[in-house]
Structure 1
C-alpha cells in the first residue's frame, strides 16, 4: 500500500523570507521523523512544496520534497517578508491563485506580513486575525473589515490560520503539526527543536509606538510633554491646559488623534518606562512602580500584566540584562 501524504505548499511571493521557508521545511521533516519513530499507523507523511509565479504569471510548483508524487497542496503557507516594500500589494496572479486554493478547500496560513496578502485577496473580511505587532495598526487601517488582535501569537479560524511576528513561523508550524499529526508529535517536534510549544502572546515583545503624524498640533504638544515626563503625574486638567483646550474638547481631540484615551496613553508610557527599568536596572519592583508614577505597587502590577502579558517579575526574569 502506498504511503499517504499530505502536501504543505509554501508560497514564494516576492521578498518571502527564505529562512522561514527552509525552517518550516526542516520543522516538518523533524515532525515526519518523530511520527515514524512513534510507529503509529495511519499518520500521513508531510510533503513540502514551494510555489512561485513564472514569467507568464502562472503560479507553479518549483520544489517538491517528494517529486514522484502528484496531486495538489492541502495547506498553503504565506511566509513572512523582510523587504522594505513588504506591504506592497501582491501581483494579481498570486491573489487569484490564493482565492482559487481557498475555494478548493485548501487551508491557508500566514506569518507576519503574509496576512496582508490574504487580506488583499479578500479572504480575511469579517475574520479575526493576527500579524506582527508593529504592523497591526496599518493592517487595521487598510482593511477595516478585518479584526486584528496583535497580542495573539496564532489565531486558528478553521480554514485560515494567521501567526504573529517574523519568528512565529515556528508557532504556526507546530500548530499545523498538532492539527495534522496530533499533539504528541507536535510536543516531540518542539522538544527536539528546543522551541516553546503553544506560545500564546506576543504582547511582551511589542513596544509602544504612538501616532505622531495626525496633524493636531495641540495634541502633539501634549504628547511631547508626556514623553518627557514619562506619563507620570499627568492629570487631565494639566494636559488640557497645556493643549490650551477645555477638558471635553481635549478628550475628544486626543482620542481622535491617537486612538486612545489620555489615561490609556499615560499607562502605555509608564509601562514602557517600567520595562526599561526592569530590563536594565536592579531596582525593586516597588521602586520601579514609584519611579513611573504608581504609589500603589499592586495597581502597577495589574496594569503592567494587562498590557505586557507578563508580570513585572516574570518580565525581568525573561528580559532583564542587569548584572545579578
Structure 2
C-alpha cells in the first residue's frame, strides 16, 4: 500500500490550514472506504506529517495531532500542502522546503491548496510551470516568484504531477480531482455525491473581485490606472492614454505590464467588467443598459469580454448573483 502525506506546517498555520488538512483526511478516507467496499485491496495510507514537533493552537482554538514528523517520511506517492502563511526564513521552514524538494526529486507528486502555493514555490519546483492560488494573493505571489507562470483564473493546474488550486474552500474541488487521478472516476463521483461537492469545476474567475495593483511605485502608471477607473463609461484608446502622459505606446505598455501584471487594455476591460458585475448583482438593469454604462456599444464584444473574464455569460451571472429579480 502506497502512502499519501498531508503536510501540516505548524509555524505557518491559519484556520484554513486546519480546514484543508481535515478536509483532506475526510475526503481520502471516504475514497479509500469506497474503493475497498468494491472488493479491491487497500490502495493508500494517508498520514499527516508535521514540521516542527510543537503543539500549536491556531487562534487559541484548535490544534492537530500529527501522525509523524516529516523527517520520518522516507517515501511518499503524493504530498498535499494546505493553505498556509508564506514561509519565513527559519530553520524549520528550510527543513520543510528541502524535504519537499527531495521527495519530489525522488518521484513524489506535489499538490498545493490556496496559499500553500507560496510554500511550493519556495522550493523552486514551480519555476517555469503554471500555478494557481487565491486571487487575493496574485499580486504578492507574482512579486515573490516572478519565474512562476501564475494562472490566477484557473481553479486547478496540473503539470505532470504538480498540482495547484485556487482559493479558500475550492481545495475540495482539487481533492475530487486528485481522487480521480489516484483512484478512478467512479470513486471521485461517489465522493462528490457523498460530500456534495460540485465535480469538474475548472475556473475561479467568477469569484474574483478585481482590485488593481497600485503598490508598484510607478507614478505615471498609477495616474493612468486612476484615469481608467474614473472613466468607466468611456471607450478608452490606449494610444490616446499614452499620449496623455507623453509616453510612447510600446514603453507605456511595458511599464504598465511591469507595474500591474496586465496590459492597459486588459486593465481597462477588468475595471469595466468589475463595474458591470456589481450592476448585475445589485440592480435590475438589462444587459444593454449595463453595457452602455461601462463604455461598450457592441453587445457581442461585451458578452465575449464578460465571459472571458468571469467564465459566465452576463445573463447567467445576473441570474446567479442577483437576489432582487
**TM-score for both structures, normalised by structure 1:** 0.84
Within 2, Cα distance between the matches of 1:322 and 1:62?
Answer: 43
> 1:24 and 2:24 equivalent?
yes
What is aligned with 2:2? 6
Within 2, Cα distance between the matches of 1:36 and 1:138?
Answer: 43
Provide the secondary structure at the position in 2 that maps to 1:232: coil
Alpha-carbon distance change, 254 to 176 in structure 1, aligned in 2, over 3 angstroms: closer
The 8 Å contact of residues 233 and 293 in structure 2, kept in 1 or not, is answered as no
- 1:218-233 map, 5 Å: 218-230=220-232, 232-233=234-235
Within 1, Cα distance between the matches of 2:33 and 2:76?
Answer: 20
The 8 Å contact of residues 124 and 146 in structure 1, kept in 2 or not, is answered as yes
Within 2, Cα distance between the matches of 1:89 and 1:153?
Answer: 29
Q: Which of the numbers 74, 78, 84 marks the counterpart of 2:77?
A: 74
Shift of 1:245: 5.0
What is aligned with 2:34? 34
What is aligned with 1:15? 12
Cα-Cα RMSD: 2.7
Provide the secondary structure at the position in 2 that maps to 1:221: helix
- 1:198-213 map, 5 Å: 198-213=200-215
Provide the secondary structure at the position in 2 that maps to 1:131: coil
The 8 Å contact of residues 7 and 81 in structure 2, kept in 1 or not, is answered as yes
Unaligned runs of 5+ in 2: 55-63
The 8 Å contact of residues 307 and 313 in structure 2, kept in 1 or not, is answered as yes
**TM-score for both structures, normalised by structure 2:** 0.84
Equivalenced residue count is: 306
Within 2, Cα distance between the matches of 1:63 and 1:246?
Answer: 58
Shift of 1:192: 0.9
Alpha-carbon distance change, 8 to 233 in structure 1, aligned in 2, over 3 angstroms: same
Within 2, Cα distance between the matches of 1:249 and 1:186?
Answer: 49
> 1:52 and 2:50 equivalent?
yes
Within 2, Cα distance between the matches of 1:207 and 1:291?
Answer: 19
Range 158-167 or range 291-300, more displaced: 158-167
Within 2, Cα distance between the matches of 1:155 and 1:107?
Answer: 13
Unaligned runs of 5+ in 1: none
What is aligned with 1:281? 283
- 1:98-117 map, 5 Å: 98-117=100-119
- 1:1-324 map, 5 Å: 5-13=1-9, 14-16=11-13, 17-37=17-37, 39-42=38-41, 44-54=42-52, 63-64=66-67, 72-81=75-84, 83=85, 86=86, 88-89=88-89, 91-230=93-232, 232-236=234-238, 238-240=240-242, 242-243=244-245, 245=247, 250-251=252-253, 253-318=255-320, 320-324=321-325
Shift of 1:99: 1.9
Alpha-carbon distance change, 41 to 141 in structure 1, aligned in 2, over 3 angstroms: same
